[in-house]
């Protein structure tokens, strides 16, 4: 046994203690692997990446919707690893869990084997087992488990001593971490500065550039293929979000506080690791990355996934604890005390885990929830409720909103599009008003006073869905029309087309920003009522079809529709085909004055209500002779089930 000091601390292990350390490290690794398997799951957000992976593997390009080139994933390196696993295994559920488990377990084994004392080894092992988020995101299908491994490798290289070889490895692992998730560059920056100390400038530059090559190459490839080095989610979450900075910072502080109350082992370990790190000259700069990264987390408002954004500094904290040579034995009790305050979920059977949050519960928690428990019922490896695995293109998994099979392309609107988007397959084009749409992500929050971090709603502009369905630019606002024309050229034109690169330059130089701002100022939060010519409204439509399958169908947007007739009508009834899980309100007007209203609602199952169906609406007696008809829609209890938009057509005014 290693000798103890008067203060109860224990120094570095002597040579005869190496075998004991390896045995304990093996046992600790096996225990963590068992816990990770017990908690294993695939989160809904992981299917956003898996949809792109599946499209790529099936020859449709590395894209979310097959119709355009848009990068919706934020972890290119993890995406490439998932794609390789998918090619080898032929499936994604067990592959995502297996890859995550392998990366996380390797990181824990590395940390345990690098411990300088038995107390440090015990602290790291207990903390890895008892910190909720660390075990939760050992799988999940997200990049976090690969982040564990890359950060441990980075810490080992950055603190090994100033040499050209170690600087090259530091730059390489730091670049790989940034390729796995860009914001990790902020966490790694201080440690990288320390690793290059005392080296000639020429060595710093040459080795640093060589090590950074993976990150640089990815940015270059993304800029060429997608027309932007940044994912579309960067626009959705960081650029022009439309939420005041003070509110984001307050949300970020709530995120830290909730971790203290629901997962106390996590923030306590970060604090302990930081304190030990700054006291040690070798780890001081590595430790300085922790508060820098936490400040960034607060600035961006944290995350909706409980504890996940705190895991990168947590891993560096574990490294600092493992490498500390003198730790009091009493510190072994710290993670145990934290676990008593918030017992880990793996102590309970898998049947305990499924927990579907209600909107009221989410609001009460400021939008921050335990995502693993929220999705464990359907996506947990050992869940007693899981019924097979989700299949790409298997829309029969969502019979309430879409029929199967379908052989023609289709269009749907909806947020939280992970599993839904994956089930939609390559034929489905999903318009996500939260994260993944190239145009909507560039718009600010529709209601800045009503938002959830990571889920900021955007309003769909008039004519946008019609543009996607028809392939023609039909956006109503002239400024946004020009902006979208450039954007769709970037995402749909051939990669090396000269017009595409002119559009890329226009977007990135800000030449079209004024057009986007004009739409936001004029139409975005005060939706206009769209004028529809009587001839267009009265074109015949086919019954029983979705609006995007019927060219004569007309969408009813947020501001409503106005049909103005050249002369007063004498009809006492109107016939019209409507579709959508909304109530349609008809307002009859003459010479600018309102005469009366009537309502209609599609009937039947939710699927039937989303197809065009003929209804007859009685015109109020006082409204006979109207010369203007307004159509508006009102949400009702089932509206959230809809994936098509409210539409009408085939208007008839029988005499």
Q: What is the pLDDT of residue 197?
A: 87
The secondary structure element, H or E, covering residue 428 is: strand 428-431
CA angle 580, 586, 588 (to 5 degrees): 165
416 Ramachandran zone, left/alpha/beta (phi>0; psi -120 to 50)? left
Give yes or no for residue 5 having a pLDDT over 50.
Answer: no
Residue range 572-585: average pLDDT?
92
pLDDT one-digit tens code per residue, 318-374: 999 999 988 888 888 888 898 899 999 899 888 887 788 888 888 899 999 999 999
Q: Output phi, psi for 386, to 5 deg.
A: -70, 130
% of the chain residues with pLDDT over 70: 95
Number of domains forming the structure of the chain: 3
**pLDDT for residue 532:** 96
pLDDT of residue 626: 94
Residues 293 and 260 in one domain: yes
Tell me what pLDDT residue 39 has: 96
In a domain, 290, yes or no: yes
The CATH number given to whatever domain includes residue 601 is 2.60.120
Is 261 domain-assigned? yes
pLDDT in tens, 19-70: 788 899 999 999 999 999 999 999 999 999 999 999 999 999 999 999 999 9
Q: At 637, is the pLDDT very low, low, confident or very high (cuts 50, 70, 90)?
A: low
Beta bridge partners of 600: 584
Same structural domain, 14 and 64:
yes
Claim to verify: residue 120 and residue 99 sit in the same structural domain: yes
Question: 367 in a domain, yes or no?
Answer: no
Which residues make beta-bridge pairs with 431? 413
pLDDT band at 94 (very low <50, low <70, confident <90, very high): very high
Q: Does residue 374 belong to any structural domain of this protein? A: no
Q: Does the residue 609 lie in any domain?
A: yes
Phi/psi-derived region of residue 317, left when phi > 0, alpha when psi is between -120 and 50, beta in every other case: alpha
Of 295, 316, 350, the position where a domain reaches its end is 350
Over residues 619-635, the pLDDT tens digits come to 999 999 999 999 999 88
Amino acid 536: pLDDT: 96
Which residues share a beta bridge with 579?
647
Q: Is the peptide bond before 405 cis (omega within 30 degrees of 0)?
A: yes
Judge whether residue 8 has pLDDT over 70.
no
The residue among 625, 647, 211, 206 whose CA lies nearest residue 411 is 647
Q: How many CB atoms lie within 10 A of CB 26?
A: 13
- 471: Cβ contacts below 8 Å, ≥ 6 apart: none
Task: Let me know whether 84 and 16 are in one domain.
Answer: yes
Tell me: pLDDT of 148 over 80: yes
Are 308 and 314 in contact, with CB atoms under 8 Å apart? no
| Residue 590 maps to a domain | yes
Query: Same domain for 497 and 627?
Result: no
Is 269 part of a structural domain of the chain?
A: yes
Nearest Cα to Cα of residue 110 among 132, 125, 126 = 125
Angular region, 463: left φ>0, alpha ψ -120 to 50, beta rest: left
CA–CA dist 648, 613 (Å, integer)? 9
Q: Is 562 helix (H, G, I), strand (E, B) or coil?
A: strand
CA pair distance 167, 212, nearest whole angstrom: 11
Give the pLDDT confidence of 205-220 residue by residue, as tens digits.
Answer: 999 999 999 999 999 9
Domain shared by 235 and 271, yes or no: yes
Computed over every residue of the chain, the mean pLDDT equals: 91
Confidence (pLDDT) at 7? 45
User: Are residues 247 and 182 part of one domain?
Assistant: yes
Whether 511 and 605 share a structural domain: no
- Return the closest-CA partner of residue 331 out of 491, 125, 640, 175: 125
93: pLDDT strictly greater than 70: yes
pLDDT above 50 (res 6): no
Residues 346 and 239 in one domain: yes
Q: Measured between alpha carbons, how far is 483 from 514 in angstroms, rounded to an integer? A: 9
pLDDT (tens digit, 9 = 90+) per residue, 370-390? 999 999 999 999 999 888 888
Which of 283, 315, 350 delimits the end of a domain? 350
Instruction: Dump strand ranges (E) for 169-322.
Output: none
In terms of domains, do 492 and 344 share one? no
> Tell me, what's the pLDDT at 334?
86
Residue 222 has pLDDT above 60, yes or no: yes
- Helix ranges, 533-617 (H): 534-537, 606-609
Q: Are residues 151 and 299 in the same domain?
A: yes
- Residue 140 DSSP symbol: B
Residue span of the structural domain in which 551 resides: 530-652
pLDDT band at 576 (very low <50, low <70, confident <90, very high): very high
SS3 of 584-600: EEEEEEECCEEEEEEEE
Over range 79-108, report the average pLDDT.
Answer: 97
**Residue 2 predicted with pLDDT over 60:** no
Coil/strand/helix, residue 548: helix
Q: State percent of the chain over pLDDT 90.
A: 73
CA separation for the pair 115, 99 (Å, rounded): 25
CA distance 201 to 373: 50
Token representation of residue 313:
């500094």
The yes-or-no verdict on residue 405 having pLDDT over 90 is no
User: Same structural domain for residues 518 and 556?
Assistant: no
Q: Name the nearest CA neighbour of 332 among 1, 6, 8, 2.
A: 8
Confidence check: pLDDT of 13 > 70? no
Give the CA-trace dihedral at 558, 559, 560, 564, to 10 degrees.
-160
Q: Which of 510, 527, 544 is the last residue of a domain?
A: 527
Report pLDDT digits (tens) over 258-267.
999 999 999 9
Candidates 231, 494, 651, 420; CA nearest to 410 is: 420
173: left (phi over 0), alpha (psi -120 to 50) or beta: alpha
Polymer length of the chain: 655
> CA–CA separation, 310 vs 321, rounded Å?
17
State phi, psi for 571 to the nearest 5 degrees. Answer: -70, 140
Q: Specify if 368 maps to a domain.
A: no
CA–CA separation, 504 and 521 (whole Å): 24
The whole-angstrom separation of Cα 571 and Cα 232 is 50
Report the distance separating Cα 415 and Cα 417, nearest Å: 5
Residue 67 structure tokens = 């119709």
Please classify residue 439 by burial: count the beta carbons closer than 10 Å to its beta carbon, then call 0-12 exposed, 13-18 middle and 19+ buried: buried
- pLDDT reported for residue 642: 65
- Per the model's pLDDT, the better-predicted residue between 271 and 608 turns out to be 271
Q: How far is CA 318 from the centre of its chain?
A: 27
Report the pLDDT value the prediction gives residue 11, as an integer from 0 to 100: 47
């Amino acid at each position: 046994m290693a000798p103890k000091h008067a203060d109860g601390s224990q120094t570095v292990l002597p040579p005869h203690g190496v075998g004991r350390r390896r045995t304990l490290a093996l046992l600790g690794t096996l225990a963590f692997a068992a816990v990770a398997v017990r908690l294993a799951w695939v989160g809904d957000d992981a299917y956003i990446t898996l949809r792109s992976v599946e499209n790529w593997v099936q020859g449709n390009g590395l894209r979310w919707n097959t119709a355009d080139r848009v990068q919706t994933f934020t972890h290119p390196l993890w995406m490439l690893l998932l794609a390789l696993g998918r090619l080898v295994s032929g499936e994604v559920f067990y592959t995502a869990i297996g890859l995550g488990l392998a990366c996380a377990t390797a990181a824990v084994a590395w940390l345990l084997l690098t411990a300088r004392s038995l107390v440090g080894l015990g602290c790291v092992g207990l903390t890895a087992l008892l910190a909720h988020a660390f075990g939760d995101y050992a799988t999940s299908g997200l990049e976090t488990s690969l982040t564990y491994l890359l950060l441990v490798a980075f810490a080992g290289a950055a603190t090994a001593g100033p040499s050209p070889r170690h600087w090259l490895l530091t730059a390489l692992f730091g670049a790989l971490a940034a390729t796995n998730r860009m914001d990790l560059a902020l966490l790694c920056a201080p440690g990288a500065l320390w690793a290059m100390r005392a080296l000639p400038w020429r060595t710093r530059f040459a080795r640093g550039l060589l090590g950074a090559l993976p990150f640089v190459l990815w940015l270059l490839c993304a800029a060429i293929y997608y027309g932007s080095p940044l994912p579309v989610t960067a626009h959705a979450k960081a650029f022009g979000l439309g939420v005041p900075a003070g509110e984001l910072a307050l949300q970020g502080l709530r995120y830290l506080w909730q971790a203290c109350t629901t997962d106390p082992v996590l923030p306590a370990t970060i604090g302990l690791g930081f304190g030990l790190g700054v006291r040690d000259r070798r780890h001081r700069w590595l430790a300085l990355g922790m508060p820098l990264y936490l400040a960034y987390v607060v600035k961006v408002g944290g995350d909706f996934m409980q504890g996940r954004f705190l895991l990168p500094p947590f891993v560096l904290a574990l490294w600092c604890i493992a490498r500390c040579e003198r730790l009091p034995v009493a510190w072994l009790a710290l993670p145990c005390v934290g676990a008593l305050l918030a017992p880990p979920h793996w102590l309970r059977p898998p049947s305990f885990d499924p927990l579907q949050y209600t909107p009221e519960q989410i609001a009460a928690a400021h939008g921050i929830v335990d995502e693993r428990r929220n999705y464990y019922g359907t996506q947990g490896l050992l869940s007693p409720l899981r019924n097979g695995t989700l299949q790409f293109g298997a829309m029969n998994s969502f019979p309430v909103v879409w029929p199967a099979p379908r052989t023609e392309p289709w269009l749907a609107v909806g947020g939280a599009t992970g599993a839904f988007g994956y089930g939609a397959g390559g034929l489905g084009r999903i318009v996500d008003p939260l994260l993944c749409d190239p145009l909507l992500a560039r718009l600010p929050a529709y209601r800045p006073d009503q938002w959830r971090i990571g889920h900021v709603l955007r309003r769909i502009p008039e004519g946008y869905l019609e543009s996607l369905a028809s392939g023609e630019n039909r956006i109503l606002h002239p400024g946004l029309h020009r902006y979208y024309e450039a954007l769709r050229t970037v995402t749909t034109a051939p990669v090396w087309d000269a017009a595409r690169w002119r559009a890329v330059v226009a977007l990135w130089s800000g030449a079209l920003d004024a057009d986007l701002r004009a739409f936001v100022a004029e139409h975005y939060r005060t939706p206009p009522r769209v004028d529809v010519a009587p001839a267009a409204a009265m074109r015949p439509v086919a019954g029983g079809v979705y609006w995007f399958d019927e060219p004569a169908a007309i969408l009813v947007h947020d501001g409503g529709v106005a049909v103005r007739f050249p002369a007063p009508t004498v009809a006492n009834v109107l016939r019209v085909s409507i579709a959508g899980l909304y109530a349609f309100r008809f307002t009859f007007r003459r010479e600018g004055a309102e005469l009366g209203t009537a309502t209609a609602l599609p009937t039947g199952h939710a699927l039937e209500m989303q197809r065009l169906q003929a209804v007859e609406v009685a015109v109020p007696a006082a409204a006979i002779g109207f010369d203007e008809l307004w159509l508006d829609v009102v949400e009702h209890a089932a509206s959230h089930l809809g994936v098509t938009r409210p539409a009408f057509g085939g208007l008839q005014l029988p005499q």
